[in-house]
Chains A and B, each alone.
Chain A
């Protein structure tokens, strides 16, 4: 057994949580991508309202993790944290600001220090400048390689499922393990499938709040769509450190650099200001040359729902078709949604723009 395989897991629920800190404290961070069935008796479905985010319900699923880190990213997450603390599971709530100013950066940096202290409280190692720099280097290397893979595999539809698997592995496996996989499996699969053609398929951009499920990807594949760009939480919104990034000799400065890296990443629907998000989406759509946008959100996700008018406006400006699909987290795609995808395809083919 490799050394990293003995490290305890820490679950994370938001892509703004710097996994490098958790890794530097001697844990393996893992994004929650569990099935939705909540078997914990403390949280029977009746405990939570029906009109409640199913991803948060999934985060309450009991597992082998040593702890879980939430952010104040949404009302449902905050309540998820409240619930999980009642069953004595170690949990930390990271107060994530919505905007990017020098004061909010300092504030978030302080919150990250609280996170590092909490990790020590639950049995982790103190985070030092060296351990943090090592973890940052490791994750940066991984992000860099992953970005290369994703870019090379672009426009090759058969690759989408492979890409998804890889991103899921990136989010839920130890970085050392993913790097190993990247060298062995993914390259081999990539070389084999690189010749696949994507001609005659309709290029689309898929956006949403959590990771797209395999069922929706399969359905898209069957409906003859070609996925040319993705915009999802934790995926495609991560960027490696700049080429000229220099690791500061001081722990606090290094932490500040990490804070800035996270707060500067392409914004998610929760962040303000809307122009920054709108500009990001408009550029993504323009550069992808997609003929349509499928926006896939979870039911009762307020941030996701407020994004719909924004997407509609962008699509209207760029004369691109738009489809909004709403489902529960990890629920397989229904026949009804399949029909909607079919109708959407016909609308694009018939040049009827929504």
Chain B
């Protein structure tokens, strides 16, 4: 019996309680500390330690657990003294372990439609299975999608805990005013949460400094990725994005990106690309399928197509200010090109395509993601005007039942033939 089968079998019975004990994660954390990875695998060790530490602390309940949605800056919750927990990320982790079908079924049993985003359905299934650390409060931000707010609202009702919604101004009219308004909103939120969380200026300083250091390393990593051939595997980068979504503001985040920078520098210096034969360079839009599948092997190994960069790894924000933390955090939130008119995303895609000298762009169309899929028309038209080949690849990041292997392969092959021509 392999580990996946063991976990899946335990999910069905009383064995589930082991996964919700802090000691379980503490033990794994200790074991991880003894792991001496090969050169170049240190970021993976840091990432694993971070998640085990996060789960250990979340189950230990010494600090309040704050559920929030992806793209809420984690620095916000670290600075408030809470432990940020993004259930969508853990839905992806469950998918990578092959456990998503179990949780998706659970969500279906609770009457959540299969037309909803599978990131949220997976998270809802985990919630109904009680296999995630229960929140002390839920903090939703109205970016990027509706599903996140509704899902978190349902979570707050399920756990009977306070729910806070941070309205993120839609950056259409007067962006400067939007930033001031949001900064005031963040300040008010920090004040409101004071009785629940610990807001201490020294925490803010620490968080801002860690975040800024990690940002510098991430910028360096992104610059190294401009090298041809590519020094970093796109599939790994799309998994490691969770560190930038959740670990910024912590020592783990800084260490992870420092090691990654060292690793890529060494690869570039010694001319050791991740793929020996790199025929094409691609830009990837949106996330990837997280369940085990052939997609990246097919692209990288069979066709020598390297994903040179991903829009979700772009650094779009400025440094956080220690003196005016909330104002700079508001700027970071509003600088996200995935929030606001689709034109912002399109402009970024074109500029990344130029910067990373890609041969084509692939948009992975997550089944239930209206906000991303709705901008495909504009992406396609604009990229066509710039003579950049574009492929909209339909699939699902979490629900493998919506991944059509044969169809995907045919479409990818046609696209790569087009690049050849």
Given A52-B370, A308-B111, A309-B110, A114 contacting B173 (CB threshold 8 A): yes
Please determine whether A103 and B165 come into contact, CB atoms closer than 8 angstroms: no
Which of A53, A81, A306 contacts B370 (CB under 8 A)? Answer: A53
Among A29-37, A213-221, A236-244, A268-276, the stretch that binds chain B is: A268-276
Which of A48, A74, A312 contacts B111 (CB under 8 A)? Answer: A312
Please determine whether A273 and B170 come into contact, CB atoms closer than 8 angstroms: no
Please determine whether B146 and A273 come into contact, CB atoms closer than 8 angstroms: no
Shortest beta-carbon distance from B223 to chain A in Å: 31
Q: Mark B150-193, 1 if CB is under 8 A from A, else 0.
A: 11011001000001010101101110010001001100100000
Please determine whether B342 and A274 come into contact, CB atoms closer than 8 angstroms: no
Please determine whether B146 and A302 come into contact, CB atoms closer than 8 angstroms: yes
Please determine whether A103 and B146 come into contact, CB atoms closer than 8 angstroms: no
**CB within 8 Å: A-B pair count:** 118
Report chain A residues within 8 Å CB of B112.
305-306, 308-309
Please determine whether A82 and B374 come into contact, CB atoms closer than 8 angstroms: yes
B352 CB within 8 Å of chain A: no
A342 CB within 8 Å of chain B: no
* Contact residues of B between 102 and 149, Cβ < 8 Å to A: 110-113, 115-117, 142, 145-147, 149
How many angstroms from the CA of A318 to the CA of B157 in the assembled complex? 19
B266 CB within 8 Å of chain A: no
A75 CB within 8 Å of chain B: yes
How many angstroms from the CA of A275 to the CA of B156 in the assembled complex? 11
Report chain A residues within 8 Å CB of B165.
98-99, 272
Please determine whether A273 and B167 come into contact, CB atoms closer than 8 angstroms: no
Shortest beta-carbon distance from A101 to chain B in Å: 9
A195 CB within 8 Å of chain B: no
Shortest beta-carbon distance from B390 to chain A in Å: 14
CB-nearest residue of chain B to A80: B374
Please determine whether B113 and A79 come into contact, CB atoms closer than 8 angstroms: no
Please determine whether A79 and B185 come into contact, CB atoms closer than 8 angstroms: no
B375 CB within 8 Å of chain A: yes
Please determine whether B374 and A274 come into contact, CB atoms closer than 8 angstroms: no
Please determine whether B367 and A51 come into contact, CB atoms closer than 8 angstroms: yes
How many angstroms from the CA of A206 to the CA of B272 in the assembled complex? 65
CB-nearest residue of chain A to B367: A51
How many angstroms from the CA of A86 to the CA of B147 in the assembled complex? 26
Shortest beta-carbon distance from A106 to chain B in Å: 9
Which of B142, B174, B342, B370 contacts A98 (CB under 8 A)? Answer: B142
Report chain B residues within 8 Å CB of A104.
167
Report chain B residues within 8 Å CB of A76.
370, 374
A78 CB within 8 Å of chain B: yes
Report chain A residues within 8 Å CB of B367.
51
A47 CB within 8 Å of chain B: yes
Please determine whether A272 and B149 come into contact, CB atoms closer than 8 angstroms: yes
Which of B146, B170, B368 contacts A270 (CB under 8 A)? Answer: B146
How many angstroms from the CA of A80 to the CA of B374 in the assembled complex? 8
Given A51-B368, A79-B370, A309 contacting B111 (CB threshold 8 A): yes
Please determine whether B150 and A303 come into contact, CB atoms closer than 8 angstroms: yes
Please determine whether A49 and B378 come into contact, CB atoms closer than 8 angstroms: no
How many angstroms from the CA of A72 to the CA of B173 in the assembled complex? 13
How many angstroms from the CA of A75 to the CA of B374 in the assembled complex? 8
Shortest beta-carbon distance from B379 to chain A in Å: 11
Please determine whether A82 and B342 come into contact, CB atoms closer than 8 angstroms: yes
B341 CB within 8 Å of chain A: yes
A352 CB within 8 Å of chain B: no
Shortest beta-carbon distance from A228 to chain B in Å: 24
Report chain A residues within 8 Å CB of B146.
74-75, 270, 302-303
Please determine whether B370 and A302 come into contact, CB atoms closer than 8 angstroms: yes
Please determine whether B343 and A82 come into contact, CB atoms closer than 8 angstroms: yes
How many angstroms from the CA of A72 to the CA of B145 in the assembled complex? 11
B365 CB within 8 Å of chain A: yes
Shortest beta-carbon distance from B84 to chain A in Å: 20
Given A82-B343, A95-B169, A48 contacting B163 (CB threshold 8 A): no
CB-nearest residue of chain A to B167: A97
* Contact residues of B between 362 and 414, Cβ < 8 Å to A: 365, 367-368, 370-371, 373-378, 381
Shortest beta-carbon distance from B172 to chain A in Å: 5
A-contacting residues of B (Cβ < 8 Å)? Answer: 110-113, 115-117, 142, 145-147, 149-151, 153-154, 157, 163, 165, 167, 169-170, 172-174, 177, 181, 184-185, 188, 341-343, 365, 367-368, 370-371, 373-378, 381
| A–B pairs, 18, beta carbons within 8 Å | A43-B377, A51-B115, A51-B368, A75-B146, A75-B370, A75-B374, A78-B371, A79-B375, A86-B378, A86-B381, A95-B170, A98-B167, A103-B188, A111-B173, A114-B173, A272-B163, A302-B116, A309-B112
A52-B374, A85-B341 given; name 12 further pairs at CB < 8 Å.
Answer: A51-B373, A52-B370, A53-B370, A75-B370, A76-B374, A79-B375, A82-B341, A95-B173, A272-B163, A273-B163, A305-B112, A306-B147
